[in-house]
Chain A
Amino acid sequence: MMPFGKGAVWGREAWKSYLFVLPFLSIFAAFIAYPLLSEIYYSFTRYEIGVAPRFVGLKNFINLLNDSDYRQSVINSLIYVGIGVNVKLGLALLIAIFLNREFRGRSLVQSLFLLPWAAATISSLLSFRWMLDTDYGVLNSLLESVGFGKIQWLGQYSTAMSIILVYHIWKYLPFWTLIFLSGLKGIPPDIYEAGRVDGATPVQLLRWVTLPMIKGLYIVCTLISAIWTMGDFITVYLMTGGGPGQSTNVVATVAYRFAFRFGEFDNASASFVLLFPVMMIIIVFVIRKLEGGHAAY
């Protein structure tokens, strides 16, 4: 093993190590670092389609903060991430614990449970929309058959936002359940056995064995899911188009509108850059939790 020191970093043999990481670094630089730094740069410029970027300081951020539609989209994004991620991961863990037990037909249940994740996003979104159609949807037909009136599921803010959340949870719950299930399978059975010998109840085993062992994985999943959910564009775009009255837009759909409807790449970039501090707080919080020594493995 090469001793760690100056020679290890700059020595004659070190270039071989750099050669091995070069492909990753190139991809990281091209697809992560460069777009990210460009986005930050553009957010401080006036950069519209056909107009070269020109530095304007904080003007874009001030304009966005004065824009009620943007402010609403930030609130919606926080709701979407806050509720969507936590409910989804909480449920995913519970279901994973359930699926981790031995019972008849477990394989079948597991396979059926994975179906929403396997279904194509666009077709499942369209199916949701048809089921929720005010005039012809199956849900309203059922409600009417038992004496209730029609509900405009996607035609009012509260229900439309709830449906967006329900779809998100329904669609991505299986994926995270699968992740947690594999995490649970990695917990050595001896620990449970030892707990049982000591007289621990199933609830106590969950509280004192399963949760501490899975905590690190759960935190990492929260971080990844929060980042993915923050960037989710297609659910809102196809489900409501940001309506009614621009009320269900999230930052991703507003940024799309700026970039591809108005050709305003500056505002599109600033829309996300404004959220960086929020995301950084979440990331730092999660990393600190991880570094707190609670990671299972």
Chain B
Amino acid sequence: MRTRFGTLVISLFLVLLMAGGVFAGERKLSLWWTVEYSAEEKAALEAIVNDFQKETGIKVEWSGYSSTDLWAKVMAGIEAGNPPDVSQVLSHSLVLLADRGLLMDVSDLIEKYKADMIPSGVEASYIWNSKAGKRSYYCIPWGLYTLTINYWTTDIKKAGYTTLPTDWQGFWGAFEKAQTATGIPATGWSLSDRAEFDVSWPVEQFITAFGGRLIKDGKLDLGPENRTAVIEALKFHTKWYLENKAPKGVTEWGDPDNNTNLQTHKMSMTLNATLSIPRWFYDKERDKYYNETASANYPQPGPLGKPYPVLTNIYPMIIPANAPHPKEAKEFVDFFMQKKNYDKYIKGLEARFFPMYKSTFDDPYFANPKEPHVFPTRQHFFGPSAPINFMLHPAYAKFVIGHGWHKMVARVAVDKWTPERAADEALDSLKRTFERY
């Protein structure tokens, strides 16, 4: 009896010892990623995760979410002390997290890859941290995007154009003429709270085109020039709807609605934060991708006769400051950003997002001048460009997240306020947001 009991104890001890050895030796990390658009995105992520696991032996437990769900989940995870080791986040929420000192400083990784990175993307990743009282790199920007301009070339041709004019008046006027020729609304983008970037980004881009620069040297500038720029941008943003040159439903559109309206040819042109609309044509109706639609570069000079920057944004990876496996997290990010792995991933996304590396832009995939969508949009990063404003100050990010611009636009489009009154209300709200910081 005693022998049996002794054997049992020793066996149990050995099992526990082995299990402990296995668990102690297992290296792992959790990864939260955005998977919301296409099967290719998921496949690209799975491929890089598998390669990483094979090469390092580190097990990756990954979960996919929509970008807005992920945003709330990362917030909750960090606060509950149970964050992921690596996660994607939307750029404006990144600014709020960095400001509160909740993200790991990854300057060493950025320095390693910086030389080949697009400067506006690097600039956008240099973020203020109120807790540390300094700016630093609190994210690894893996993707770039701009407000793309997608349109039906067939409509422009019907208006008598062979190519789009490149000056401001001529460019936008071509779509107005297309409406006259086709009867299809010239353009349309969301004016509703159900959308995120589709509302605020055009506002930001138009403010910039009208000479506005609301953040200067890290401070808010509400001088008369900027007020005028906001008013003119607002007039331009809403005039298409108010003059019946946009579908009537834009005041209730969510983020996908400009996609579907352009895809179904219910308007001639739209602005969209990624190339998701052309990618849909590429997958479903390739002939239209190559022969009936195109994407455009921004008209230069701007409405004031001066060149203006095209605003660019980053898609960042973050490592929370309280990540359970920071060493493994850094290893993963490093692996991800290594050129051979990175190129495979970014091309797997089929140009929905653009690469951070200048050298990747030279790849024929991104540099083919005959390509009707990728190549013209590529030019956004090589002309005058700047990070979108909300990357420059947490108060500005909070204003944008709080739909400050959405409200301004709705004041004019829905409540029929004058642009001056709506702009003043928005700028006052922006000022009060800054005062609380």
Contact = CB atoms under 8 A, between A and B. Distances in A.
A152 B414 CA distance: 10
Given A241-B194, A261-B401, A262-B401, A156 B78 contact: no
Interface in A229-250: 240-247
B193 A246 contact: yes
A245 B407 contact: yes
Given A49-B97, A50-B78, A155-B251, A261 B71 contact: yes
Interface in B173-222: 191-195
6 nearest A-B pairs in the assembled complex, by CB-CB distance? A245-B410, A243-B193, A155-B251, A134-B249, A241-B194, A260-B72
B330 interface: no
16 contacts: A50-B100, A50-B101, A50-B102, A69-B402, A135-B266, A242-B193, A243-B252, A244-B191, A244-B413, A246-B403, A246-B407, A246-B410, A259-B75, A261-B93, A261-B402, A263-B97
Given A49-B102, A50-B79, A244-B414, A152 B252 contact: yes
Interface string A263-281: 1010000000000000000
A245 B402 contact: no
Given A157-B414, A242-B193, A243-B194, A49 B247 contact: no
Given A50-B101, A157-B414, A245 B252 contact: no
Interface string A131-156: 00111100000000000001011111
Interface string B237-259: 00000000001110110100000
Given A243-B410, A245-B409, A245-B410, A155 B100 contact: no
B248 A49 contact: no
A260 B192 contact: no
Nearest to A245: B410
Contacts of B402: 69, 257, 261-262
A243 B100 contact: no
Contacts of B254: 241
A196 B55 CA distance: 87
Contacts of B261: 135
A244 B195 CA distance: 11
B75 to A, nearest CB: 5
Q: How large is the interface on A (under 10, 10 to 19, 20 to 34, 35 or more residues)?
A: 20 to 34
Contact of A260 (B71, B195, B407, B409): B71
Given A245-B414, A263-B75, A48 B192 contact: no
B75 A135 contact: no
Nearest to A133: B249
A261 B397 CA distance: 11
Contacts of B75: 49, 259-260, 263
Contacts of A262: 96, 398, 401-402
Interface string B417-433: 00000000000000000
B59 interface: no
A51 interface: yes
A123 to B, nearest CB: 16
Given A262-B398, A262-B401, A155 B78 contact: no
Contacts of B101: 50
A257 B191 CA distance: 19
A263 B96 CA distance: 8
A244 to B, nearest CB: 4
B415 interface: yes
A152 B401 contact: no
Nearest to A249: B193
Nearest to A253: B193
Given A133-B252, A135-B248, A261-B72, 12 more contacts: A49-B78, A49-B100, A50-B100, A134-B249, A150-B248, A153-B252, A154-B252, A243-B192, A243-B406, A244-B192, A262-B398, A262-B402
Contacts of B266: 135
B411 interface: yes
A110 B280 CA distance: 45
Contacts of B78: 49-50
A261 B406 CA distance: 15
Interface of B: 71-72, 75-76, 78-79, 93, 96-97, 100-102, 191-195, 247-249, 251-252, 254, 261, 266, 398, 401-403, 406-407, 409-411, 413-415
Most chain A beta-carbon contacts within 10 A, residue among B93, B96, B252 = B252
Nearest to B401: A261
Contact of A244 (B71, B97, B100, B410): B410
A88 B147 CA distance: 45
B252 A155 contact: yes
Contact of B76 (A136, A242, A244, A260): A260
Contacts of A156: 251, 414
Nearest to A47: B79
Nearest to A151: B248
Contacts of B410: 243-247
Contacts of A152: 248-249, 251-252
A69 B248 CA distance: 26
A218 to B, nearest CB: 36
B251 A240 contact: no
A48 B99 CA distance: 11
A261 B195 CA distance: 14
A244 B193 contact: yes
Nearest to B96: A263
Contacts of A247: 410
A164 to B, nearest CB: 13
A155 B192 contact: yes
A132 B413 CA distance: 19
A145 to B, nearest CB: 17
Contacts of A259: 75
Nearest to A256: B72
B92 to A, nearest CB: 9
A51 B261 CA distance: 44
A191 B217 CA distance: 81
Nearest to B188: A135
A140 B305 CA distance: 43
A245 B193 contact: yes
Contacts of B96: 49, 262-263
Contacts of A135: 247-249, 261, 266
Given A156-B251, A245-B411, A261-B402, A240 B194 contact: yes
Interface string A151-179: 01111110000000000000000000000
Nearest to B412: A245
